[in-house]
């Protein structure tokens, strides 16, 4: 008789079934995290990301390929910059951390650079936790962890995260380092990109805090991270401390209110599978069995957005024109409902949303007529 | 977004075509705009890959950087760009007309009128999308501090002559584009989006191809179908048939076509450098030229569709009649252009990297004032915009049902007629709220004096523009039966309080900026991107 399965293994098994036989799980990456922040209420995105489904492959199999991709120029440039920042045992990087975040500490003349290689993400996570404990037990020394691996529980399934670097200060506190290839021009960078980097770093901070909580005494995870970017038009690193308390609080709140993946998985019919190998109709049916909450913001964050947009448009949902549109139309959710209400063919005239619509339609018609004359 | 524009978007969804969001054109369009369609290299801060630029729709000038990481090639590109843009700008700097400006006399401190030159017209740069405006600003920033060999013989990588000047002009265009209602530098997607409501979100409207597909769909297709095709259709090689309007390129283009072509170019260049005799060099030069030709063709294939679309957009916009206040706003652009021309001629240094406190505050105040002016003028010029203001209770229109003559109290009674207007609108009127209407282009003010029948009748007391006599001048008071439209917002914007001179900057704002030091050029490194 096989041993009774625990809840955790049962879920893992269920998620593997959803992913399809022999399909490797895709780790939660920066884009998935961004999608999480942009649309926490979307059950479809939650289950697909939770099960580690490759959404780009799924979107292609559905016939609505995503438009994401990375140019090799950007990749080469990004890698070259990161290598430059971390060159010489991270001397420049540690100098920046010292200058921007920890002036009171001893300047880093030499640093510990533990080897973090281990088989598999679980192994690397364990190795990272071990080295973090080691480093914290060495007061007075700087330690640079290059590409550590951290685990974070996202809606009931573990996500493995790989920050660019984590620095352990001489006082035992930890700092997340983000290395990005967008420029810091005259001391300021594109706010949208800085915001995305801060949200990403906030997730790393949350994951680090879980590691820290298991240590005794538990070290401090700093809430100011170091963002390293190329300065102006050069390849020289410039850094800036970014306070991520707000993003950390927001992400933590969203992670707790994510619908449990288990609960979503339970609502799915038996035998549902998202393997890109399946024929398109079967896949469409499988995807349709999980509700999505599409909004145009998804287009920049989720690989499945074109598919969901097509569905949203087919049903005439007003949200496909943007979330604010939905907000001002009260209980009317489809294009035809709104237009019928505006024309006076449907809707309760005492409903303030309907009354406002009719007024708007009359004023618009009057103005257009005036312009035609 | 107001409910009226939401309604227009929903109608667009339902009819499959974009619906008008304006009945007149709210931006000035030059007879001879300079269209600029740039492309950049992914991952490098705005390193140019190429551009189509010119004023003649049928003869754009193609500029290409075959290896974007090569500083000399980038400089050659910028020098070529200067050769196109600067003569165009100079052509407008020469023709001037006399104008008056009020200035403070330095000796007496009084405001006096001074006769000055005002350029009769100004240049206009059109880029496909907002990213293009950002790139213009970035190019300006990267060039304006460069030193030419003439300025500084010691400089390690001297910029070609006129490149720093181009940087100053592009910076000026980029800064001006931040002023609401200005037209010196326009992004086609913004202007089209201002005048048409499509059946997609404003986010999707940033795609020029999709936006035009809604406004002017090809025969037999709805806007939604045509827009989807513009966004996603790929040819047999996996390339988008409607390339993005830039400046960023499609990653599939970078990886499949551009990267191999650049690699071939690099190889041909290395081979040429290693050539041992003249005959071999000739052969290899041929190979290099062919490789460069290939990259030029690739860049042309990605920019030409966008170039065509920008001109198509211009055609569509030109069909709309120009709004009544557009000319006035363009005159402000001409002042701004003339001002910068004068600064350049006077030999002033390039715009600083960071503005001092007073300049920054002035810029902000200007933008706020121009935003208010733009909103008021668009409403006055366009009944569709006014409809939005009426819906939100900021204006009302109706018919005059009664006029009762009344006079102010005082030694010299002036006319203060009471006008009753019947309206269906529901303006937010409080006691003695001031309202304004346009009378021969000038605002006439009135105050709210009471409402009857639950707001269906509004009684107003007219306050001014009736002449000096006891009887109002003919035509200055609405008559019974007239259609009138009053606004609760002012038509003309007053300037804010005057800011101190920069030398008087208070310590709270960093104190006086001190001696204006000449800003140093950016340090040059081996791996610069721009």
The alpha carbon of residue A359 is apart from the nearest alpha carbon of chain B, in Å, by 7
Using the Cβ of B204 and the Cβ atoms of chain A, whether some distance falls under 8 Å is answered with yes
Mean per-residue pLDDT for B441-466?
90
The residue of A360, A366, A368, A373 whose CB has the most chain B CBs within 10 angstroms, and thus the best one to mutate to test that interface, is A360
Using the Cβ of A238 and the Cβ atoms of chain B, whether some distance falls under 8 Å is answered with no
The alpha carbon of residue B460 is apart from the nearest alpha carbon of chain A, in Å, by 23
Using the Cβ of B149 and the Cβ atoms of chain A, whether some distance falls under 8 Å is answered with no
Strands B185-187 and B125-127, bridge-based pairing: parallel
The alpha carbon of residue A54 is apart from the nearest alpha carbon of chain B, in Å, by 19
- Residue B253: the pLDDT is 92
User: For A233-245, how does the pLDDT look when each residue is reduced to its tens digit (9 = 90+)?
Assistant: 888 899 999 999 9
**CA atoms within 13 Å, Cβ hemisphere of B406:** 16
A 10 A CB-CB count for A354 gives: 23
User: For A158-190, how does the pLDDT look when each residue is reduced to its tens digit (9 = 90+)?
Assistant: 778 889 999 999 998 999 999 998 889 888 898
Mean per-residue pLDDT for A129-133?
91
User: For B74-100, how does the pLDDT look when each residue is reduced to its tens digit (9 = 90+)?
Assistant: 999 999 999 999 999 999 999 899 888
From A182-191, A196-205, B195-204, B489-498, the region with the lowest mean pLDDT: B489-498
- Residue B46: the pLDDT is 75
Quick check: B203 and A361 CB within 8 A? no
Distance from C-alpha of A328 to C-alpha of B116, rounded to nearest angstrom:
51
Give B424 or A52, the one with higher predicted confidence.
Answer: B424
Q: Is the pLDDT of residue B157 over 90?
A: no
The residue of B2, B9, B10 whose CB has the most chain A CBs within 10 angstroms, and thus the best one to mutate to test that interface, is B10
* Domain limits, chain A: 14-26+35-68+260-318, 72-255, 329-372
* Contacting residues of B for A305, CB less than 8 Å apart: none
Of A69, A77, A338, the CB nearest to B43: A77
- Residue A258: the pLDDT is 67
The residue of A233, A310, A322, A327 whose CB has the most chain B CBs within 10 angstroms, and thus the best one to mutate to test that interface, is A233
pTM of the shown model: 0.91
Q: Is the pLDDT of residue A38 over 70?
A: no
Mean per-residue pLDDT for B125-149?
92
Q: What are the start-end ranges of the H helices in B196-277? A: 208-215, 223-232, 251-253, 259-273
Give B373 or B160, the one with higher predicted confidence.
Answer: B373
Using the Cβ of B530 and the Cβ atoms of chain A, whether some distance falls under 8 Å is answered with yes
Q: Is the pLDDT of residue A1 over 60?
A: no
Residue closest to A323 by CA, chosen among A306, A350, A298: A298
b/e sequence A295-318, b meaning 16+ C-beta within 10 Å: bbbbbbbbbbbbbbbbbbbeebbb
- Residue B391: the pLDDT is 93
Using the Cβ of B408 and the Cβ atoms of chain A, whether some distance falls under 8 Å is answered with no
Which of 328-387 (B) contact A at CB < 8 A?
353-354, 382-384, 386-387
- Residue B529: the pLDDT is 66
Mean pLDDT of chain A: 86
Tell me the sheet residues that pair with A226: A177, A241
Using the Cβ of B527 and the Cβ atoms of chain A, whether some distance falls under 8 Å is answered with yes
Quick check: B232 and A67 CB within 8 A? yes
Phi, psi of B483 (to 5 degrees): -90, 125
Using the Cβ of B16 and the Cβ atoms of chain A, whether some distance falls under 8 Å is answered with no
The residue of A363, A370, A371, A372 whose CB has the most chain B CBs within 10 angstroms, and thus the best one to mutate to test that interface, is A363
Quick check: B528 and A233 CB within 8 A? yes
- Residue A35: the pLDDT is 66
* Contacting residues of A for B266, CB less than 8 Å apart: none
Quick check: B202 and A300 CB within 8 A? no
* Contacting residues of A for B171, CB less than 8 Å apart: none
Domain A72-255: top CATH class: alpha beta
- Residue A39: the pLDDT is 79
From A38-47, A278-287, B132-141, the region with the lowest mean pLDDT: A38-47
A 10 A CB-CB count for A173 gives: 17
Phi, psi of A304 (to 5 degrees): -90, 0
Mean per-residue pLDDT for B152-165?
85
User: For B222-273, how does the pLDDT look when each residue is reduced to its tens digit (9 = 90+)?
Assistant: 999 999 999 888 888 888 888 888 798 998 999 999 999 999 999 999 999 8
Residue closest to B45 by CA, chosen among A230, A188, A82, A226: A230
Question: Is the omega angle on the peptide bond into residue B247 within 30 degrees of 0, that is, cis?
Answer: yes
Which of 138-167 (A) contact B at CB < 8 A?
none
- Residue B508: the pLDDT is 86
- Residue A6: the pLDDT is 58
- Residue A2: the pLDDT is 47
- Residue B522: the pLDDT is 77
Which of 295-314 (A) contact B at CB < 8 A?
296-297, 299-300, 306, 313
From A11-20, A183-192, A310-319, the region with the lowest mean pLDDT: A11-20
ipTM of the complex: 0.87
- Residue B527: the pLDDT is 67
Task: Tell me which chain B residue has its CA closest to the CA of residue A64.
Answer: B232
Q: Is the pLDDT of residue B348 over 60?
A: yes
**Banded pLDDT at B289 (limits 50, 70, 90):** very high
Domains and CATH numbers, chain B: 3-234+312-351 (no CATH), 381-487 (2.40.30)
Distance from C-alpha of A43 to C-alpha of A292, rounded to nearest angstrom:
6
Mean pLDDT of chain B: 90
* Contacting residues of A for B43, CB less than 8 Å apart: 71, 73-78, 181
Using the Cβ of A77 and the Cβ atoms of chain B, whether some distance falls under 8 Å is answered with yes
Mean per-residue pLDDT for A59-78?
85
């Amino acid at each position: 008789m096989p041993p009774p399965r625990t809840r955790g293994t049962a879920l893992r098994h269920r998620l593997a079934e959803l992913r399809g036989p022999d399909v490797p799980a895709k780790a939660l990456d920066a884009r998935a995290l961004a999608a999480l922040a942009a649309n926490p209420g979307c059950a479809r995105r939650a289950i697909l990301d939770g099960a580690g489904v490759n959404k780009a492959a799924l979107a292609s199999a559905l016939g609505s390929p995503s438009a994401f991709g990375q140019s090799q120029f950007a990749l080469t440039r990004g890698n070259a910059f990161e290598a430059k920042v971390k060159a010489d045992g991270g001397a420049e990087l540690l100098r920046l951390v010292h200058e921007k975040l920890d002036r009171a500490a001893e300047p880093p003349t030499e640093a510990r650079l533990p080897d973090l290689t281990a088989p598999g993400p679980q192994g690397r996570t364990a190795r990272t936790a071990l080295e973090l404990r080691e480093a914290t037990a060495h007061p007075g020394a700087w330690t640079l962890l290059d590409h550590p691996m951290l685990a974070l529980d996202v809606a009931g399934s573990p996500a493995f995260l790989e920050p660019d670097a984590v620095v352990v200060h001489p006082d035992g506190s930890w700092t997340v380092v983000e290395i990005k290839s967008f420029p810091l021009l005259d001391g300021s960078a594109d706010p949208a990109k800085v915001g995305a980097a801060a949200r990403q770093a906030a997730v790393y901070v949350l994951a680090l805090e879980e590691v820290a909580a298991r240590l005794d005494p538990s070290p401090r995870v700093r809430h100011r991270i170091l963002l390293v970017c190329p300065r102006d038009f050069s390849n020289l690193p410039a850094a800036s401390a970014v306070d991520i308390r707000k993003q950390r609080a927001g992400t933590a709140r969203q992670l707790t209110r994510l619908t449990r993946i288990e609960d979503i998985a339970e609502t799915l019919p038996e035998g549902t599978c998202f393997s890109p190998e399946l024929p398109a109709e079967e896949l469409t049916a499988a995807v349709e069995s999980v509700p999505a909450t599409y909004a145009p913001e998804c287009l920049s964050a989720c690989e499945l957005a074109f598919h969901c947009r097509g569905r949203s448009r087919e049903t005439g949902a007003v949200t496909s024109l943007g979330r604010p549109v939905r907000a001002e139309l009260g209980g009317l959710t489809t294009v035809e409902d709104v237009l019928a209400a505006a024309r006076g063919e449907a809707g309760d005239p005492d409903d303030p949303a309907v009354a406002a619509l009719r007024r708007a339609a009359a004023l618009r018609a009057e103005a257009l007529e005036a312009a035609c004359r | 977004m107001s409910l009226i524009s939401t309604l227009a978007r929903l109608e667009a969804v339902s009819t499959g075509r974009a619906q008008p969001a304006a009945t007149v054109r709210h931006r000035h369009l030059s007879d001879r705009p300079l269209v600029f369609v740039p492309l950049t290299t992914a991952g490098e801060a705005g390193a140019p890959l190429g551009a189509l630029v010119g004023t003649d729709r049928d003869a754009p000038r193609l500029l290409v950087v075959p290896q974007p990481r090569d500083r000399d090639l980038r400089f050659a590109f910028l020098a070529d760009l200067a050769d196109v843009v600067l003569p165009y700008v100079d052509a407008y700097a020469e023709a001037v007309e006399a104008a008056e400006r009020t200035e403070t006399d330095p000796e007496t401190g009084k405001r006096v009128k001074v006769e000055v030159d005002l350029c009769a017209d100004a240049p206009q740069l059109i880029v496909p999308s907002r990213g293009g405006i950002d790139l213009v600003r970035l190019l300006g920033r990267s060039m304006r501090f460069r030193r030419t060999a003439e300025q500084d013989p010691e400089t390690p990588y001297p910029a070609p002559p006129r490149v720093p000047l181009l940087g100053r002009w592009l910076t000026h265009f980029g800064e001006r584009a931040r002023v609401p209602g200005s037209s010196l530098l326009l992004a086609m997607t913004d202007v089209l989006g201002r005048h048409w409501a499509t059946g997609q979100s404003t986010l999707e409207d940033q795609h020029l191809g999709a936006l035009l597909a809604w406004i002017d769909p090809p025969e037999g297709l709805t806007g939604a179908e045509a827009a989807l095709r513009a966004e996603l259709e790929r040819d047999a090689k996996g390339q988008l048939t409607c390339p993005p309007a830039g400046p960023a390129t499609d990653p599939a283009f970078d990886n499949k076509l551009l990267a191999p072509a650049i690699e071939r170019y690099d190889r041909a260049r290395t081979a040429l450098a290693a050539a041992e005799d003249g005959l071999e060099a000739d052969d290899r030069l041929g190979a290099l030229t062919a490789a460069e030709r290939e990259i030029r063709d690739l860049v042309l294939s990605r920019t030409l569709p966008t170039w065509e679309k920008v001109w198509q957009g211009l055609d569509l916009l030109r069909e709309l009649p120009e709004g009544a206040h557009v000319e006035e706003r363009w005159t402000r652009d001409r002042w701004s252009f003339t001002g910068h021309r004068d600064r350049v001629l006077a030999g002033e240094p390039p715009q600083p990297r960071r503005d001092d406190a007073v300049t920054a505050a002035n810029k902000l105040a200007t933008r706020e004032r121009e935003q208010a002016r733009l909103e008021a003028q668009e409403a006055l010029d366009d009944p569709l915009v006014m409809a939005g203001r009426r819906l939100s209770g900021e204006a009302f229109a109706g018919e005059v049902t009664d006029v009762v003559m009344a006079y102010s109290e005082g030694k010299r009674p002036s006319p203060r007629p009471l006008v009753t207007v019947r309206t269906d609108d529901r303006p937010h009127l409080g006691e003695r709220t001031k309202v304004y209407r346009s009378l021969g282009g000038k605002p006439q003010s009135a105050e709210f004096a009471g409402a009857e029948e639950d707001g269906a009748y509004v009684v107003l007391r007219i306050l001014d523009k009736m002449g000096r006599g006891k009887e109002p001048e003919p035509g200055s008071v609405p008559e019974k039966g007239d259609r009138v439209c009053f606004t609760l917002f002012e038509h003309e914007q007053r300037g804010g309080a005057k800011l101190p001179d920069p030398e008087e900057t208070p310590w709270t704002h960093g104190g006086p900026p001190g001696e204006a030091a000449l800003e140093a050029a950016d340090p040059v490194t081996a791996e610069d991107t721009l």
